Structure 1
Amino acid sequence: MSRKKLVRFKENEENPNVIQDGKEIFETIKGNWNETQFQNENPIVVELACGRGEFTVGLGRVFRDQNFIGVDIKGSRIWKGSSTATAEGIHNVAFLRTQIEQLDKFFATGEISELWITFPDPFPRDGDEKRRLTSPRFLEMYKPLLKTGGTVHFKTDNTGLFDYSLELFQSREDINLIGFTHDFYQSEWKDDHFGIQTRYEKMFSEKGEKIKYLKLQFKN
């Protein structure tokens, strides 16, 4: 392991906005994010596969009356968002280092107000469908964690993953598909995100890839 990674991992261990294995809070945070981590009752917004945390931190800058949690397994990536939030004094942002498959071990029923799935791995092979973050397996996990009326946002550059997800969502009776677009920056929603982009989104956009976006709610 490189010295740079060792330094970053050490800083993650010391930074209170990183919740990871080895910290006492890692075992007790479920159902207690507002009280223990944020010390407020503001809504909780979670970004899955947050990478370097650009989007999580960006949302935290804009919406100081909400709490934002980026989830990723890569400690060296989380370090970037964690360090940025610390340097800027953004106290409504935190990062959870865990596999997304374990999400329900860290959030209680109805604890999440909004969920963002931003540029996840598309896992294009048919045999990898269950690994897609928009697959039925994951939807069943997200559903109870969201508050009634909670919104799921999904952004990707990958047409195959987007079409797969859209077809799946449209086929489910428990989903209310609020809207979708195959060209986000030419859509009615483009200003809702305040120009906040992830590193991958910038890269794909510069290559001329159209960004796909949709939002949905689970029916009661």
Structure 2
Amino acid sequence: MGRQKLKKFEDNDKAGNIVQAGKPIYETIKGNWRAFFGNDKPLVVELACGRGEYSVGLAGVFPEKNFVGVDIKGARLWTGSQAAYAQGLDNVAFLRAYIQNLTDFFAPQEIDELWITFPDPRPRNSDERRRLTHPRFLAMYRQLLKPEGWLHLKTDSDSLFEYTLETLAEHPIKDFVHTSDLYSSSMAQDHHGIKTYYEHLFSAQGFSIKYLRFRFA
């Protein structure tokens, strides 16, 4: 492991805005996120958050909410953690964990809103169960979200977007809106100009950004 990555991991061990294995809070955070933040603000969780650009960006726009970015890559979470400190944001934190284990860290109906931002599309048929909009994940999100909680997806992947539309057609949902070209749609203003590293990359390559949101019925 490189010296720079080791330094990042050392920083993460000390960071108060990162929950990860080895810290006592890692074992007790489930059901206690509002105590962690020290308030009763709505809890917004971003899955596959990468470098945390979206969580940090949203935290700056919505100080009345708390944000948690979830990813398994510690070096990526370091970037989000340091950005939050640099901007003086105390309403954003990061959880280093596998998304399939989300129920180990959030209690039923503890989450007010979920974002899935540019996840790995897992295009191979053999990887279908690993797609973050597979029915097994949707069942987990339904359990963790409050009854009127929103679920959002942003992706550049045509295949993942079409798969998700087909999957959702078989699930009871409501208030469903979607677009295959977010920044040419009326929903663009709802995103406050916040873009992830990958979103900038994909947009520069000419890929349109797909977006959808819904509530479980």
TM bin (shorter chain)? over 0.9
1:217 matched residue in structure 2: 215
Check the 8 A contact 1:51/1:77 in 2, yes or no: yes
CA-based RMSD: 0.7
2:126 matched residue in structure 1: 127
Check the 8 A contact 1:169/1:177 in 2, yes or no: no
> Structure 2 CA distance, aligned partners of 1:67 and 1:87?
17
1:15-54 aligned within 5 A: 15-35=15-35, 37-54=36-53
> Structure 1 CA distance, aligned partners of 2:104 and 2:21?
12
Which moves more between the two structures, 82-91 or 175-184? Answer: 175-184
Q: Secondary structure at the match of 1:171?
A: coil
Per-residue CA deviations over 1:43-87 (Å, capped at 9, x if unaligned) read 000000000000000000000000000000000000000001012
1:112 matched residue in structure 2: 111
1:204 matched residue in structure 2: 202
> Structure 2 CA distance, aligned partners of 1:198 and 1:105?
27
Per-residue CA deviations over 1:109-156 (Å, capped at 9, x if unaligned) read 111000000000000011100000000111111111000100000010
Q: Offset of 1:89 from its aligned partner?
A: 1.0
* Residue segments in structure 2 that go unaligned for 5+ positions in a row: none
1:2 matched residue in structure 2: 2
> Structure 1 CA distance, aligned partners of 2:89 and 2:40?
17
1:191 aligns with 2:156: no
Which letter does structure 2 place at the counterpart of 1:155? K
> Structure 2 CA distance, aligned partners of 1:160 and 1:99?
23
Which letter does structure 2 place at the counterpart of 1:218? F
Check the 8 A contact 1:118/1:154 in 2, yes or no: yes
Q: Secondary structure at the match of 2:154?
A: strand
1:163 matched residue in structure 2: 162
TM-score, normalising length: structure 1: 0.97
| Equivalent residues, number | 217
